[in-house]
Chain A
Amino acid sequence: MNKEVILCVDDEETSLFLRKPVLEQAGYEVVTAASATQALEVLSSRKIDLLLTDYLMPGQTGTELARAAKNMFPELPVIILSGVTELPPDMEHVDLFVSKVEGPQSMCEKVAAVLSANRKESGTGWKRENRHRRGQRLT
């Protein structure tokens, strides 16, 4: 079975370098991009199953990237992974907000949850309530 592919976007090289193997250990193939522009290039060049992006980046923010990505692939699930305390204002194209502070295990669990929900209800999008539930696993 083919591994699901995650596009991981962050402007910090170290963060990206360390997050990649964590996701790989969880059984995903990981492609990285250092900016929104780069990420959009990757998206147009190959099949991506999930977009996991930082929020605050030079150039476009994570939510702006989410909007652009959803324009190209409306069914592509997008997770914002951020260290900010307040939820960004333009979250309408984002499936889940995950705090960086939750740790590697929680991050992998949430990625899995979003992917599985997307598989189950592919095409129609999953219910908002479910999305909240799943996002809520407190560790």
Chain B
Amino acid sequence: MNPPGTCRCRTRNRSNNREFRSESLRTDNLLGKSAVVARHKPWLPVGEEGSAGESLTTYDKEAKTMNANEKVNILIVGKRTARLASYEVMLRELGENVILASSTEEALRCLLQTDVAVMLFDVDRFQSERDAFDAANAILQHSNLQKTPIIFVLDAPLTDLSEYKEYRRGAVDFISTPVLPELLRNKVTIFADLHCKARQLETLTRDLDLLSEAVIVSDGDGYIEFWNSGAEALYGWRCEEVLGKKLDQVLPTTFPEPSEQVLPALTSAGQWEGTVRRQNKGGQEISVAIRKVLQRSDGTGAVLEMGHDISAQLQAEAALRQSERLAAIGRLAAVIAHEINNPLEAIANALFLVRSHPSLKGEAQRFARLAEEEVARIQHITQQMLGFYRESRTPISVSMRTIVDDVLDLQGRRLQINRILVEKEYRDDMVVIGFPAELKQVFLNLIGNATQAMPQGGRLRISIRESTDHASSLRGVRVSVCDTGSGIQPQDAKRLFEPFFTTKPNNGTGLGLWVSKGIIEKYQGTLRFRSLRLYDQHVTCFSVFIPGAAVAHPLARDAVCA
């Protein structure tokens, strides 16, 4: 990859001859012997077609491997060998490769095979301007050569302006004899520089395309002018699909600040940086860190934008923050729980004794009962925090069916009071190796939440089946708890598993799902949910997946309904 600015360096060198020479020597060394030969023994195929052809072929091999750091080629075409040699001497000072061609055919061949920066066309006095232009035109007809600038060296000053116009497209400049060396060098230098810049641009464009960064250039009105392969990869749109379309229509973008503020910022500061949310071709939302730069130089208000996908990075950071936060909360919870549990036990025992004490009468009895109820709430909270305690160190094989049935038994009365119809769909009885207490706690939380979501009654469907986890492709058991309750609000969905997040401020601890998820994750399992709106009712499903479960007793496929 060529660093930008190589050509600027060349221009500077040109104004300082000594420095330039050392540079050219160094380049020669880098290029190897043949390049040096090409410079010092310019291609001079005067009348010898055969040898000229050979030289051309030899030269071609060198030329095609050239890059922007190297010298440019100047082609001098003309029949007058002495003249051509004198131009070559004048131009030698520039340190570029000078190639001489004695006929238009040779010139054409050279142009086809090498990258020529500028062509110097010597028009002799016996050749009419017309012939010279025709010859030049013939050369330039070839589509690949359209861009090659030509400087005509004319013995007589140019008289007919119409001729000039006619060939304006190809013949870019004229110079009259006697040729002033300084003038010739200046003119050639301008074109050599131009050529060099063009080459640099090509390289840059190619590099831009190779960049993994998504580079987009849009004009002042927001129409896409450039779209590199990085942009294709990131946004899914192919270059040809989006060129000429409006950027904001191709990529719906959400800016971190109101979009009306982005443009003024871009105009005043010349650039804007930030992370935006964008929709790719597949409709997926991605986070892209972008930098927009206003191209001031061309005055069109074109904007160059570079961007890269940071969705994964943001997700990883968020996950890390989340897990750090949870770990900290977990440690804190353990310490607090222990410190609270000891006095709490004493208080609970005291209230238990007070409440049933024969001397307690009337109002005092009521106060004691209220105190006991409030203490029970504290106990409930710390028990949720203590959710990880196990009654044994050794895991045992537990039937999921038994776990769920036990929980349904415990909740039986509440389900009945709330007029909730329970549908059991136990397709397989699965056994997992684990701790019954914590597994029960998970389903107690899920079934408890479902019950609370259906104060007006509803249906609770619990299914147990053998399944494969999508993400991990592991086999295991899946238990789904679905209810027809109030559903989950979209804004709550993201925070559902956060500790202390609750939609039931009066009787929720906000720990149930957090603890449950923690338990399931210890089993390398997953706890997910889905909330759908079907017709006029919500269906909310929590799905627990625990891998590595063994099928104990496969049951009949028919659902067992209670």
Contacts and interface: CB of A to CB of B under 8 A. Distances in A.
Interface string B435-473: 011001100100000000000000000000000000000
Given A84-B338, A135-B437, A138-B441, A101 B391 contact: no
Contact of A85 (B379, B389, B406): B389
B379 A101 contact: yes
B335 to A, nearest CB: 9
B342 A83 contact: yes
Given A15-B346, A101-B341, A136 B382 contact: no
Given A85-B338, A100-B342, A91 B393 contact: yes
Contacts of A18: 346, 349-350, 353
A85 B337 contact: yes
A83 B349 contact: no
Contact of B389 (A87, A96, A128): A87
A86 B388 contact: yes
B392 A83 contact: no
Nearest to B439: A136
B31 interface: no
Contacts, number: 109
Nearest to B398: A132
A83 B337 contact: yes
Interface residues of B, number: 39
B390 interface: yes
A122 to B, nearest CB: 21
Interface string A65-84: 00000000000000001111
A131 B392 CA distance: 9
A21 B351 CA distance: 12
Interface string B241-280: 0000000000000000000000000000000000000000
Nearest to A81: B345
Interface string B384-410: 011011111110100000000011001
B348 A103 contact: yes
Contact of B353 (A15, A22, A89, A103): A22
B56 interface: no
Contacts of A105: 352
B437 A138 contact: yes
Contact of B345 (A21, A101, A135): A101
A46 interface: no
A21 B353 CA distance: 7
A120 to B, nearest CB: 19
A15 B345 contact: yes
Interface of B: 333-334, 337-342, 344-346, 348-350, 352-353, 356, 376, 379, 382-383, 385-386, 388-394, 396, 406-407, 410, 436-437, 440-441, 444
23 contacts: A12-B346, A18-B353, A82-B341, A83-B337, A83-B338, A84-B338, A86-B334, A87-B391, A89-B393, A91-B393, A97-B392, A99-B341, A99-B383, A99-B389, A101-B345, A103-B348, A128-B394, A132-B392, A132-B396, A135-B392, A136-B440, A138-B407, A138-B444
Given A22-B352, A97-B392, 6 more contacts: A19-B345, A85-B338, A99-B341, A100-B341, A100-B342, A136-B391
Interface of A: 12, 14-15, 18-19, 21-22, 25, 81-87, 89, 91, 96-97, 99-105, 128-129, 131-133, 135-136, 138
